[in-house]
Structure 1
Amino acid sequence: MLKISESIDVGHREMSIENVLRKRREHAGTVIFGSNITMWQVVEKLALTVDRSDAALGTTSQFVHSLQVYEAMLANNKTEEWYLLLGILHDVGKTLSLTGEDDFYVDGSNLILSCPAEHSGLDACVVTYSHDEFGYQKFLECCPGVDLPEEFLYGVRYHSLHSVDPRWLSEKDVQNFAWLFDDFTVYDHGTKNGLNTPPLEVMFSAKRLVDKWFPDPIVW
C-alpha cells in the first residue's frame, strides 16, 4: 500500500492535460477569504495547511516552512527584497487546500505535460496543476496596484518544477533557472525541519516586509 505522500505524488504525476486546463478554468477568480484581508493574514492562514506529500516536513505547517526559508535567507545575508519576499510567499498558493481541493491538485512536484515547440518557453507549455499556478494567478488577480518583479512571479509559478527537458526552455527560462534552481531551491528544500520553529523576531521581520509590499487589503 502506498503512503499518503506517495499516493499524492502519483496522482499529481498522472494528471492529464484536460484536468490541468479544467482546474485552470475552475480556479480562475477563486476567492477563499474575501476582499478585505491583508497579504500577511493570508500568509498566517498557511498555519492551517500541511503538505502531506512532503515527508521532510511531516506535520509541520507551511507557515513555519515559509519562516524557515526566510530565516535561512537572512542568515546568509540575502538582501534583495523581492527574493526575501519570494521566500515568504512562494507557497502561499497552498491556501487552495483550504477550499477542500484534492491534495494532488495542490501539492507535489510539477512536470511538463506538453509544449508547442522546442524553445517555446515554459509560459507556452502545459504544466501539472498545483499551488504554483494557483498562487501565480492569484498574485496577478489580487494585487494590480503592486509592482511585483517578473522574477518573483516566475519563482512562484515554477519553483516546484522538476525533470525539465532543456529543449523546451526559452532564453528567459534559462536565465531564471540559474537562480531559481541553483540558489532558491537550496533554501526551499534544504531548510525543512519539523523540529525548528523560527523565533518571533523572524516572524515580525517577515510581516514588516510583506506589509511594506502589500500595504492595502487584497482579494484572496
Structure 2
Amino acid sequence: MANIELIDESQGFVLNDPSEYRPEVKDKSKYRDFRIHNIPDYVEKTYTNMHTSQTLEFSTQKLKDWSKLDKAEMNIMDALNMLNELVDESDPDADFPNSYHAYQTAEGIRKQHPDKDWFHLVGLIHDLGKVMAIWGEPQWAVVGDTFPVGCCPAPSIVFGIDSFKDNPDMLNEKLASELGIYDEHCGLDNVIMSWGHDEYLYRVLKGNSCKIPEEGLYMIRFHSFYPWHTGGDYEYLCNNKDSEMKAWVNEFNQFDLYTKSPDFPDVEEIKPYYEALIEKYIPGKLKW
C-alpha cells in the first residue's frame, strides 16, 4: 500500500493508494479508504490479529505445514466453487463471495490482454489459496496484505508500524531491524512472507507441475504484497529478478483492484472458456 498521510485527529488517517470498487466514489485515487472512522470493525480486527500474531516462527511453521499438500485432492473448478462460501474479512469494499471477484478479474484481463490466455487464467485463480479459511485457518492468516517477517515492518503497511506493537518479534533487536535475518538484495524468493493465500496457492501450483509461465506464478505469489509493489518499500530485499517482475505484478493488480463491482459477468456463458484454460495449464485433480 502507499504511504500513510496523517490528517487531523477527527478524520483519522487515510492511505493514498489505488483501491477496489466503491460505487459512491468515482475518483480511483479515493478508493481503498482505510480511514479509522470509516473502516468496518471486522477489517480492523483482522489486521490487528494479523500484525500481532504473524511472527517469523508462526509464518515459518504455516509454510511448512501447508506445503505438505496433504489437505485435499480436487480440481481448480472445485476450489473456485468453494470460494462461493467466502467473504474476505480484510476487504472494506467487497461484500460478495470471492468467486465472483475471480471471474471479474479474469474478464477484465481478457479484454485488455486477449493474446495472453495464461494471464486470463491467473486472474481467475489468483485467490484460490483462500480455501484455507474454509478449512479452518483464521482469516488473518489467509487474507489481506502481506509483508516480510523476520525484519522490521515498513511504514506503508496498512495501519502502520504501530499496529505491530504487540507482535513478539518486535521485542527482538535483530527481528526488529531493517534487514532482520536477511542479506541486502537477497531476493524475495529467499524472504519469508507473512502466511496467506498468495504463498499457499503458489506452493500448490508449483507442487502440481503447473504450466503457467513464471510471470503468472510471480503475480500469484506477490499480488498482496502492497508495501512493495505499491508502497515502494522493501526494495533493499529485492534483486534484479524482483525488479523485472514488479511490472507484471502491477499490471495484474490494476485488474484485481478495479474490477470489483456488483455487476457480475454471466458465469455460465464464460465458464467453458476458462475450463479449457484449466485443462491446458492445470489439468486434473491437484494436491492441496
Instruction: State the TM-score, normalized to the length of structure 1.
Output: 0.89
Q: Describe the shift of the 1:122–1:74 C-alpha distance in structure 2 as closer, same or farther (beyond 3 A).
A: same
Q: Secondary structure at the match of 1:50?
A: coil
Quick check: 1:166 aligned with 2:226? Answer: no
Q: What does residue 114 of structure 2 align with? A: 78
Q: What does residue 47 of structure 1 align with? A: 84
Q: What does residue 65 of structure 2 align with? A: 26
Amino acid at match of 1:126: I
Quick check: 1:122 aligned with 2:191? Answer: no
Kept after mapping to 2: 8 A contact 1:109/1:160: yes
TM-fit CA distance, 1:94? 0.6
Amino acid at match of 1:33: A
CA distance in 2, matches of 1:73, 1:203: 15
Amino acid at match of 1:125: V
Larger helix proportion, structure 1 or 2? 1
Quick check: 1:10 aligned with 2:53? Answer: no
Kept after mapping to 2: 8 A contact 1:70/1:206: no
Residues 71-120 of structure 1 show CA distances to partners (whole Å, capped at 9, x for unaligned) of 11122243212211110111110111111111100011011223511111
CA distance in 2, matches of 1:208, 1:148: 14
Moved more, 210-219 or 45-54: 210-219
Quick check: 1:204 aligned with 2:243? Answer: no
Gaps of 5+ in 2: 1-36, 152-178, 229-233
Kept after mapping to 2: 8 A contact 1:106/1:131: yes
Quick check: 1:177 aligned with 2:277? Answer: no
Q: What does residue 100 of structure 2 align with? A: 64
CA distance in 2, matches of 1:167, 1:177: 14
Q: Secondary structure at the match of 2:186?
A: coil
CA distance in 2, matches of 1:12, 1:152: 26
TM-fit CA distance, 1:128? 0.8
Between the two proteins, the alignment pairs up a number of residues equal to 213
Q: What does residue 106 of structure 1 align with? A: 142
Runs (4+) off by over 4 Å: none
Kept after mapping to 2: 8 A contact 1:67/1:206: no
Kept after mapping to 1: 8 A contact 2:118/2:277: no
Amino acid at match of 1:153: L
Gaps of 5+ in 1: none
* Equivalent residue in structure 2 for 1:132, among 192, 198, 201: 198
Quick check: 1:189 aligned with 2:257? Answer: yes
TM-fit CA distance, 1:4? 0.7
Kept after mapping to 2: 8 A contact 1:40/1:211: no
TM-fit CA distance, 1:208? 2.2
Amino acid at match of 2:247: A
Kept after mapping to 2: 8 A contact 1:68/1:197: yes
CA distance in 2, matches of 1:175, 1:211: 29
The higher-RCO structure (CA 8 Å, 6+ apart) is: 1
What is the RMSD of the two structures over their aligned residues, measured on CA atoms? 1.8
TM-fit CA distance, 1:22? 1.5
